Homo-oligomer: A and B are copies of this chain.
Amino acid sequence: MIIISQKLKNMENQEKKRTPKNIFVNGPIAPEKISKSIANHATKTDIGGHSIFLGQVRADEKEGGTVKAIEYTAYEDMALQKAFEIREDVFSKYPLTCMHIYHSLGEVKTGEICLFVFTSSKHRKAAIDACEELVERIKKDLPIWGKELVDNDSSVWKENT
Contact = CB atoms under 8 A, between A and B. Distances in A.
Contacts of A142: none
| Count of identical protomers in the assembly | 2
Contacts of A111: 41-45, 47
A55 interface: yes
Interface string A16-49: 0000000000000001101110110111111111
A34 to B, nearest CB: 6
Given A34-B38, A124-B135, A51 B49 contact: no
A53 interface: yes
Contact of A45 (B47, B110, B127): B110
Nearest to A47: B56
A42 to B, nearest CB: 4
Interface residues on A, range: 35 or more
Residues of A contacting B: mostly: mixed
Listed residue (A35, A43, A49) with the most chain B CB atoms within 10 angstroms of its CB? A35
A59 interface: yes
Contacts of A55: 48-49, 124
A47 B58 contact: yes
B42 A59 contact: no
A80 interface: no
Contacts of A46: 58-59
A50 B58 contact: no
Interface of A: 31-32, 34-36, 38-39, 41-59, 110-113, 120, 122, 124, 127-128, 131-132, 135
